[in-house]
């Protein structure tokens, strides 16, 4: 059975790039009817935070990517890691290193001065003398000293490094706490991972983890190292490039399906297809099809996708979503007609909420340019006559309102714009928006007349 995972460290919010690799992992699991596990990498007690962990979990909930089984916390597995450290020590595959941090720093500086690669020199690898006083040793793994460490990567292809590139790295700190590369290898193996899909910033951790897999006799999973997402200039994505926190997208009025559709197309494609439902993604996704090159983040496409998913969304769904944006249409008998009049005009839920408010809340003021253009000449008189005609006709449907408009155009022998423009500004405050007949049907006769009279008073 296919088992994949996402393994964030709880030091901040869920990053948009992290969500993409998580999505790739999740899709791989779903496609193969396998499992997608979640593991919190909280071995660094100093940097962890409970809030960060909750924020990550919340983001997953929002996008609807559920994980299988219980969330695994590395901080609760220290006994387990300790057992493996002791085992390696016993088998002579790991050893205690008494080098102080100062000595290590000095060594590093020396190597840098000689423009060499900085690496531990293995001085305690075969040490059997008397250890120096007052130093709590770290535990280092005996990494191979010659040959190459190689593996097949599903994205990058065959990948290998010189064994000399991997030094005897620390697997347990002086205080006994295990380190990242050590616990990742153990957990990935013990949790039964078949496919490890992660950012390619982990590419160089893989040889280290392979050293651990080999020392402990674990079978290797398949590795997929996905290239990073950069900003539009091809530079590393930072906060200055806009939102990097997944939950910011919720605040900005994006639908999770739009965000996921956007992300799945970064580094992956299926012919000319742009729109993917979750089901289609699951059916079509294969991590072996992930592109090697990094991709750049660009908001245009996300906005386009979001507009698409808003147009597709059902009224019930939009009613629920809009509640977070200050608009409550629950129980409003005109909800449906309001949404059909507005949903094509909003690229985000924020936009959509504004459009809805234009209809449900009378304009406070009139856009200066629009008013100047619309409230001139005989506009005042036309509006007044129109209000009278409405009061008399008491139309209800959109068609009935349209008939009244046609009537005034005919009787006064004017163009449609002569009534349309001033009416629009009176009702909406500016010259844009939904069809007038639609708007009036939503407002109702009383409210329409009220807004017209208010406008007339300002002319």
Partner RNA sequence: GGCCCCAUCGUCUAACGGUUAGGAUCCAUGGUUUUCAUCCAUGUUAUAGGAGUUCGAGUCUCCUUGGGGUCACCA
Q: Which residues carry out catalysis? A: 239
Please identify, using beta-carbon distances, which residue of 275 and 396 lies nearer to RNA.
275
Tell me if 120 sits within 8 A of 169, measured CB to CB.
Answer: yes
Residue 63 vs 404, nearer CB to RNA? 404
User: How many Å apart are CA 169 and CA 215, to the nearest integer?
Assistant: 13
Rounded Cα distance, 319 and 308, in Å: 17
Cα–Cα distance for residue pair 20/398, rounded to 1 Å? 45
Comparison of 36 and 262: residue with beta carbon closer to RNA: 262
- Which residues, other chains included, contact 149 with Cβ-Cβ below 8 Å and sequence gap of 6+? 160, 161, 163, 166, 207, 210, 211
Q: Is 179 left (phi over 0), alpha (psi -120 to 50) or beta?
A: beta
In whole angstroms, how close is the CB of 366 to RNA at the nearest point?
A: 14
Considering the complex, state which of residue 251 and residue 291 has its C-beta at the smaller distance from RNA: 291
Query: Which C-beta is closer to RNA: that of 3 or that of 141?
Result: 141
State the minimum distance, in angstroms, from the CB of residue 203 to RNA. Answer: 6
Query: Which residue's CB is nearer to RNA, number 20 or number 250?
Result: 20
Phi, psi torsion values for 324, nearest 5 degrees: -75, -10
CB of 136 to RNA, least distance (A): 7
Q: How far is the CB of 201 from RNA (least distance, A)?
A: 3
Please report, to the nearest 10 degrees, the dihedral formed by the alpha carbons of residues 243, 246, 251, 256 taken in order. 120
Pairing of strands 94-97, 138-141: antiparallel
Q: 207-240: buried (b, 16+ CB within 10 Å) or exposed (e) per residue?
A: bbbbbbbebbebebbbbbbbbebbbeeeeebeee
The least distance separating RNA from the CB of residue 250, rounded to whole angstroms, comes to 21
DSSP-derived secondary structure for 6-59: E---SSSPPBHHHHHHHHHHHHHHHHTT-EEEEEE----TTT--HHHHHHHHHH
Distance (Å, rounded) from C-alpha 184 to C-alpha 176? 16
* Cα-based angle 292, 294, 299 (whole degrees, multiple of 5): 140
Output the smallest distance, CB 317 to RNA, in A: 18
DSSP string, 31-43: HTT-EEEEEE---
Instruction: Report the nearest approach of RNA to the CB of residue 324 (Å).
Output: 22
Q: Where on the phi/psi map is residue 168: left (φ > 0), alpha (ψ -120 to 50), or beta?
A: beta
For 327, half-sphere exposure in the C-beta direction (CA atoms, 13 angstrom radius) is 26
């Amino acid at each position: 059975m296919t088992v994949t995972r996402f393994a964030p460290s709880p030091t901040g919010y869920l990053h948009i790039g992290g969500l993409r690799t998580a999505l790739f992992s999740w899709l791989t699991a779903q496609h193969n009817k396998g499992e997608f596990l979640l593991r919190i990498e909280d071995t660094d007690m100093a940097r962890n935070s409970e809030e960060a962990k909750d924020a990550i979990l919340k983001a997953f909930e929002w996008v609807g990517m559920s994980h299988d089984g219980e969330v695994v916390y590395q901080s609760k597995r220290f006994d387990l890691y300790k057992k493996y450290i002791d085992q390696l020590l016993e088998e002579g595959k790991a050893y205690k290193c008494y080098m102080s941090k100062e000595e290590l720093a000095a060594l590093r500086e020396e190597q840098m001065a000689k423009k060499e690669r900085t690496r531990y020199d293995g001085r305690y690898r075969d040490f059997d003398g008397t250890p120096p006083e007052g130093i709590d040793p770290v535990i280092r793994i005996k990494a191979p000293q010659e040959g190459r460490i190689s593996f097949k990567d599903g994205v990058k292809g065959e990948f290998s490094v010189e064994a000399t590139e991997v030094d005897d790295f620390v697997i347990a700190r002086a205080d006994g706490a295990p380190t990242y590369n050590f616990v990742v290898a153990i957990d990935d193996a013990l949790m039964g991972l078949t496919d490890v899909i992660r950012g390619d910033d982990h590419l160089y951790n893989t040889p280290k983890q392979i050293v651990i897999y080999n020392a402990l006799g674990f079978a290797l999973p398949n590795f997929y190292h996905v290239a990073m997402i950069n900003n539009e200039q091809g530079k590393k994505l930072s906060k200055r490039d806009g939102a990097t926190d997944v939950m910011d997208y919720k605040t900005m009025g994006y639908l999770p399906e739009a965000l996921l559709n956007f992300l799945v197309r970064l580094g992956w494609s299926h012919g000319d297809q742009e729109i993917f439902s979750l089901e289609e993604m699951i059916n079509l996704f294969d991590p072996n099809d992930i592109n090697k090159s990094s991709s750049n983040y660009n908001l245009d496409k996300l906005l386009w996708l979001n507009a698409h998913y808003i147009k597709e969304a059902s009224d019930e769904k939009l009613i629920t979503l809009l509640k977070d944006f200050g608009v409550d249409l629950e129980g409003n008998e005109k909800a449906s007609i309001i949404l059909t009049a507005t949903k094509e005009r909003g690229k985000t839920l924020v936009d959509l909420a504004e459009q809805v408010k234009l209809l449900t809340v009378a304009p406070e003021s009139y856009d200066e340019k629009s008013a100047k253009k619309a409230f001139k000449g005989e506009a005042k008189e036309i509006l007044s006559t129109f209000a009278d005609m409405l009061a008399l006709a008491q139309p209800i449907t959109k068609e009935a309102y349209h008939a009244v408009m046609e009537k005034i155009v005919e009787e006064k022998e004017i163009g449609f714009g002569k009534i349309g423009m001033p009416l629009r500004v009176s009702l909406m405050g500016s010259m844009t928006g939904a069809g007038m007949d639609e708007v009036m049907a939503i407002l109702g006769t009383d409210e329409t007349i009220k807004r017209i009279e208010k406008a007339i008073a300002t002319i």
